[in-house]
Amino acid sequence: MMKKRFISTIAIAGAAAMALTACSSDPEPGASGSAAGGGGGDGEVITVGFAQTGSESGWRSANTDSMKEAFSAENGFDLIFNAADNDTAAQITAVRSFINQGVDAIVIAPIVEDGWDDVLTEAKNAGIPVILEDRTVSSPEDLYAAWVGLDFEKEGTMAGEWAAAEFGDTETKMVVLEGTTGSAPANDRATGFDAAIEGTMIEKIDSQTGDFTRDGGKSVMEGFLQNYGVDGIDLVYAHNDDMALGAIEAIEAAGAVPGEDIKIISIDAVHDGMQALVDGKINYIVECNPLLGELAAGLVKDVLAGNDVERTVYVEDQAFDQAAAEAALPDRKY
Ligand code: GZL
């Protein structure tokens, strides 16, 4: 069982407030591999290949910014960045290219969980450590050195528990906008939510992937509205804010009021999602903190320095109703 380390958002936010850059999250105090300072301990520049999923959402942009801020030259890194445009084959090709370039370490935000064994084995055989950030993989744990990310199943549970409390006692017809098929957040957010609404009167009448994009959420919601009508849908559970924002456009185009005629629960808490929550168009959002850069950079330095690292570092999330969003929005960093 992998050792886990929970880092509270408050600690991250506090550390970030002190950090030189606004959009990053400091490693927890005591982490020996802080991102700050030069190179891997001996001042050498560390060359890192970072295989990002793409640029599918506002969350992804904030995550990319956080990673680029942390893996900066002044922090002792030479970052080779690749965004795979949500194409798993392209992402695996990018990792293979990093191996061929002989980088010191590879960081991956894996688009999907499966299909990583071969290229991770190649990295291991080349003696190049791999750190996972954000999403994780189904490969054996010895094929990567550590993972820093979020507890997606808990995010789904938090969303489902709110739905159960708010709507569980009345007949509620729900449609789901799923994240990218095969991705850890889509799989785990469904698992957590479904368990939390078990035994309630919330009925999932349809579920389809919108690929975590605003356009995807809008077109899937248009389909649901055509199939079931505004009066046939009471609740939307969106696996991320971008798809929720697309659903809002579709609901308004159908002449209905999002947040009233059709309730919406979402995950991420990026700025545009939080604004929609303040505006009453979304009813509840569970946060998914994208500021993982400093923690990932600290893990890279720790691993290269031969230090012991926790194999799993979870960043804790919070959740917001409309009042909490109004209070939090002015100070949010993403
Ligand atoms: C979750 C992350 C997901 C976000 C989406 O950690 O992988 O991918 O919830 C993003 O917004 O596209």
Q: Based on the fold, state whether residues 172 and 137 are members of the same structural domain.
A: no
- Residue bearing the CA closest to ligand 1, atom 1: 185
User: Is residue 145 a part of any domain in this protein?
Assistant: yes
Q: Based on the fold, state whether residues 32 and 130 are members of the same structural domain.
A: yes
Q: Which atom of ligand 1 is nearest to the CA of 134?
A: 6
Q: Based on the fold, state whether residues 17 and 95 are members of the same structural domain.
A: yes
Give yes or no for residue 59 CB within 6 A of ligand 1. Answer: yes
Burial class (CB in 10 A: 0-12, 13-18, 19+), 329: middle
When divided into structural domains, the chain yields a total of: 2
Q: Based on the fold, state whether residues 58 and 157 are members of the same structural domain.
A: no
pLDDT at 30: 33
Q: Which atom of ligand 1 is nearest to the CA of 109?
A: 7
Q: Based on the fold, state whether residues 58 and 115 are members of the same structural domain.
A: yes
Structure tokens at 68: 């680029």
User: Is residue 322 a part of any domain in this protein?
Assistant: no
Give yes or no for residue 334 CB within 6 A of ligand 1. Answer: no
Q: Based on the fold, state whether residues 283 and 297 are members of the same structural domain.
A: no
pLDDT at 313: 87
Name the β-bridge partners of 17: none
Q: Based on the fold, state whether residues 280 and 304 are members of the same structural domain.
A: no
Q: Based on the fold, state whether residues 214 and 257 are members of the same structural domain.
A: yes
Give yes or no for residue 212 CB within 6 A of ligand 1. Answer: yes
Give yes or no for residue 134 CB within 6 A of ligand 1. Answer: yes
The domain that holds 193 is classified in CATH as 3.40.50.2300
Three-class DSSP category at 313: strand
Positions in the chain whose pLDDT score sits under 50:
1-3, 9-33, 37-40
Q: What angle do CA 308, 313, 316 make, to 5 degrees?
A: 150
For 64-119, the pLDDT digits (tens) are 999 999 999 999 999 999 999 999 999 999 999 999 999 999 999 999 999 999 99
User: Is residue 334 a part of any domain in this protein?
Assistant: no
Give yes or no for residue 288 CB within 6 A of ligand 1. Answer: yes
Q: Based on the fold, state whether residues 9 and 147 are members of the same structural domain.
A: yes
User: What percent of the chain has a predicted confidence (pLDDT) above 90?
Assistant: 84
User: Is residue 210 a part of any domain in this protein?
Assistant: yes
pLDDT at 89: 98
Domain extent at residue 297: 4-151+289-317
User: Is residue 327 a part of any domain in this protein?
Assistant: no
pLDDT at 43: 75
Look at the pTM and tell me if it is higher than 0.85.
yes
pLDDT at 21: 32
Name the β-bridge partners of 264: 236
Give yes or no for residue 266 CB within 6 A of ligand 1. Answer: no
User: Is residue 332 a part of any domain in this protein?
Assistant: no
For 22-37, the pLDDT digits (tens) are 323 333 433 434 555 4
Q: Based on the fold, state whether residues 164 and 138 are members of the same structural domain.
A: no
pLDDT at 6: 60
Give yes or no for residue 60 CB within 6 A of ligand 1. Answer: yes
For 188-209, the pLDDT digits (tens) are 999 999 999 999 999 999 999 9
- Residue bearing the CA closest to ligand 1, atom 6: 134
Give yes or no for residue 148 CB within 6 A of ligand 1. Answer: no
pLDDT at 33: 43
Q: Which atom of ligand 1 is nearest to the CA of 56?
A: 12
pLDDT at 169: 98
Q: Are 47 and 78 in contact (CB under 8 A)?
A: yes
Q: Which of 266, 287, 308 is the last residue of a domain?
A: 287
Q: Based on the fold, state whether residues 293 and 147 are members of the same structural domain.
A: yes
- How far is CA 301 from each of CA 95, 293, 307, 312, 322, rounded to the nearest angstrom? 19, 12, 8, 16, 40
Q: Based on the fold, state whether residues 175 and 221 are members of the same structural domain.
A: yes
- CB within 8 A of 331, min separation 6: which ones? none
pLDDT at 247: 99
pLDDT at 268: 98
